[in-house]
Amino acid sequence: MSTLVLAAAIMAGLGLALAVVLAVSYRFLRVPEDPRVEQVEALLPASNCGGCGHPGCRAFAEAVVQGRARPSGCSVCSAERVEAIADLLGVAAGVRVRRIARLHCAGGTAHAGPAARYQGPATCGAAALVGGGGKACAWGCLGLADCQRACTFDAIAMSPDDLPVVDPARCTACGACVDACPRGLFEILPLAQPLLVQCALPLSGDAARSLCRVACDGCGRCAIDALPGVVAMQGNLPVVAADSAARATLEATLRCPTGAIRWVTGAQFALAEPGAVTRRPHAGTG
């Protein structure tokens, strides 16, 4: 027998032996999957958006079946689908906490002027790498719609002021816009939290107002006027406590000299006309 044939025979024998080992291991060591996982997954929207905190609908279905998550954790499912999943598993649906993407900036083109003319790919990611896109405020929204393009639910439209307008009815809190914004201006917050800081500029006084007319100037009046524990100043910016929705009051906004802290119950900004959607083109030159 030649060396080549012997080597082939050894490899074939080794492959067969390993196949037998794998087959036996699968037979005796495998963990059967609960068939309800597929049933729950079939009731989910298959969007794999991650708004539930899991990497996809399959992972969420497994968590629900195992009792690690409630059916109401899916922010895309209709109320009927949530109840259907709960009935299938014989568990409580859980309380759905509606969340939405909020923008910590109100400095559109009408309020925050340019420092230079940006010419390059029409994306926020590219502009942020080239002198901040030419905007005088180096912390504000660049207005080139990366967030809009990242949103697979058509929940974001661009306003005439080049600010993203999030539709509360469409937003699933998936976080795609959070990841897409190079300046980290989006945050997923409870829709029931009406007190919102619309600024991320860390300067104060005239230095802040010279860059944007609606910038927070760090005066601290909102923290003084709010109920204890609702608003705190961190550096030159107010921060609203995450668990303060029930204690938030309009008074915290009334003495703000620039309107940087707002009482928001729906969309943050307005489009040109009700229902109008302004679409930005994909990356090009400008």
- Pair (207, 228) in one structural domain: yes
Quote the pTM value.
Answer: 0.78
Measured in whole angstroms, how far is the alpha carbon of residue 175 from the centre of its chain? 2
Whether residue 97 is contained in a domain is answered as: no
Kindly report the average pLDDT of the chain as a whole number.
Answer: 88
CA dist., res. 126 & res. 132, Å (int): 9
- Pair (185, 110) in one structural domain: yes
* Cβ–Cβ < 8 Å for 47, 152: yes
Whether residue 79 is contained in a domain is answered as: yes
Q: What is the CATH number of the domain that holds 166?
A: 3.30.70.20
> Which residue in this structure is represented by tokens 């000299």?
257
Residue type, 78: S
Q: Please, what's the largest Cα pairwise distance for the chain?
A: 95
- Pair (55, 155) in one structural domain: no
CA dihedral 232, 233, 239, 243 (to 10 degrees): -10
Residue 284 pLDDT > 50, yes or no? no
Domain of 272, in residue numbers: 103-189+267-286
Whether residue 26 is contained in a domain is answered as: no
Whether residue 72 is contained in a domain is answered as: yes
Residue 272 pLDDT > 90, yes or no? no
Q: Region 233-240: what's the mean pLDDT?
A: 95
Q: What is the pLDDT of residues 215-228, one digit of tens each?
A: 999 999 999 999 99
- Pair (183, 281) in one structural domain: yes
Residue 277 pLDDT > 80, yes or no? no
What is residue 279's predicted lDDT score, i.e. its pLDDT? 41
Q: Can you list the positions of beta strands (E) in 46-177? A: 99-103, 156-158, 164-166
Whether residue 12 is contained in a domain is answered as: no
CA dist., res. 197 & res. 102, Å (int): 9
Q: What is the pLDDT of residues 126-174, one digit of tens each?
A: 999 987 788 899 999 999 999 999 999 999 999 999 999 999 999 999 9
- Domain total of the chain: 3
Please give the structure tokens belonging to residue 264: 């928001």
| pLDDT band with cut points at 50, 70 and 90 for residue 53 | confident
Residue 89 pLDDT > 50, yes or no? yes
- Pair (217, 114) in one structural domain: no
- Pair (203, 155) in one structural domain: no
Whether residue 4 is contained in a domain is answered as: no
- Pair (67, 135) in one structural domain: no
Whether residue 20 is contained in a domain is answered as: no
CA dist., res. 41 & res. 128, Å (int): 39
Whether residue 27 is contained in a domain is answered as: no
At 240, phi and psi to the nearest 5? -90, 130
- Pair (182, 208) in one structural domain: no
- Pair (124, 67) in one structural domain: no
